[in-house]
Amino acid sequence: MSAIVPNDAPIIQLQQVTKRYGKGSAAMFALRGVDLQIAHGDFVAVMGPSGSGKSTCLNILGCLDTPTEGAYLFQGVAVGGLSRNQRALLRRYYLGFVFQGFNLLNRTSAQENVELPLVYRGIPAGQRHRLARQSLDAVGLAGWEHHTPGELSGGQQQRVAIARAMVTAPRVLFADEPTGNLDTERSREIMELLTDLNRNRGITIVMVTHELEMAAYAGRVVHFIDGRIAADKDSGEIV
């Protein structure tokens, strides 16, 4: 895949995106003609009840799924025209992911977990070690490099997951319920960290959450209901 060059287009565009499972009378629509634009540097919270389509939308944006109909453009490039391998390269070089369950390797140190995306890129060991340490330092975990996930609190594990997501300097960070397994204080710490990455590093963030308090950290909230966008507002308008 040729390099995706930044331009004036929104970093993310969905044009009449539909996602359908099954056929005929058994068909189930997860998304129904969704139009969405996200600009470079936006911090967008995606909300909605279970089954509203928000997770399906995030999976399509993260190139983990494909639309049944409609178009997804990433920096003006039609993702639907990419091969499976090209979509994998887009994920590897341009996107970062943070999940509710942390998704860390349990018997592997924090530094080794953070280095994993760099291994896939073929980065030499010395450079991997340096970048991983820098990333852990940036999330406040300097000195914890050799601890395994079992030796870390939930908040620390999520910080490792964020360090892993940002070590490749992604254009977009997708966060799926990143505070779902954390208490209120740890949740606020994680949201402040994500806000810092957005404001000071210019990383575009798209976050699924069911918590209004966490959505308030975003600049914009997109609310899904029944596979459609029901509201798209500044976060200050809903909390």
Residue-level pLDDT at 238: 64
Q: Measured between alpha carbons, how far is 176 from 55 in angstroms, rounded to an integer? A: 8
**pLDDT classification of 239: cutoffs 50, 70, 90:** low
> Which of 221, 217, 220 is closest to 194 using CA atoms?
217
Rg (Cα) of the chain, in Å, rounded?
18
13-30 per-residue burial string, b: 16 or more CB within 10 A, e: under 16: bbbebebeeeeeeeeebb
Q: With the C-alpha atoms ordered 47, 51, 56, 57, is the resulting torsion angle positive or negative? A: negative
Say if 4 falls within a structural domain: no
Nearest to 203 by CA among 175, 180, 184, 230: 175
Task: Give residue 4's pLDDT.
Answer: 60
Q: What is the pLDDT of residue 136?
A: 95
Q: Give the structural domain span for 182.
A: 40-66+82-237
Q: Is residue 16 part of a domain?
A: no
> What does the block give as tokens for 219?
């600049």
Q: What is the three-class DSSP state of 221?
A: strand
93 within domain boundaries: yes
Using an 8 Å Cβ cutoff, are 95 and 63 in contact?
Answer: yes
Specify the higher pLDDT residue, 32 or 23.
32
Residue 164 within a domain: yes
Q: Is residue 9 part of a domain?
A: no
Answer yes or no: is 230 within a domain: yes
* For residues 160-171, average pLDDT: 94
pLDDT-derived band of residue 120, with 50, 70 and 90 as boundaries? confident
Residue 227: CATH number of its domain = 3.40.50.300
The three-class DSSP label of residue 16 is strand
Task: Provide mean pLDDT across the span 132-148.
Answer: 94
The whole-angstrom separation of Cα 204 and Cα 199 is 9
* Number of domains comprising the chain: 1
Residue 7 lies in a domain: no
Residue 119 has pLDDT above 60, yes or no: yes
